[in-house]
Amino acid sequence: MTTTDAVLVPANTVATAKSDGPTVDVNNATTRAFLVTLTITKIIEQESLDVSIYGSADGAAWEPKSIAAFPQKFYCGETQLVLDLNAHRQVKFVRAHWEVARWGRGTETPMFEFGVSMKWIPANILNEARAEAKALA
């Protein structure tokens, strides 16, 4: 990863079924911590979106369990999480996976318009946050 930003799901992607985003190489990142942002821009009522992040050592075979996941979402808005790959040293590639569900009246097909981006967290900010968390513990 040569830049500080990556796209796990392009902005304004329309999801009507489960799928995966593109593979992102994180092997050359300066630190192994990232701020991942889920932005939902359009929905229909009575539906849910589950977005999780999977890791891979080679970009072909993916871990059977996600390495991070957003809380289930029902509304438009923005949610962030920290993806710390220090506990997953074998991971050199990541990708987003999503699943959608719909219930109630109207069309049975769910529809979310969303995107997922990822920003590298600089080492000095990461170290400062860890020190602060340790002091609070």
Among 8, 9, 3, 5, smallest CA distance to 93 is for 8
Q: What domains appear along the chain, each with residue ranges and CATH number?
A: 5-136 (2.60.120.1110)
Question: What's the whole-model pTM score?
Answer: 0.88
Could you please report the per-residue DSSP string of 7-32? Answer: EEEEEEEEESS-EE---EE-TT-SSS
pLDDT tens-place values along the chain, 137 residues long: 444 689 999 999 999 999 999 999 999 887 889 999 999 999 988 999 999 999 999 999 999 999 999 999 999 999 999 999 988 999 999 999 999 999 877 778 888 999 999 998 888 887 887 788 888 87
Q: Measured between alpha carbons, how far is 89 from 84 in angstroms, rounded to an integer?
A: 10
Output the CA torsion 98→15→36→89 (10° steps).
40
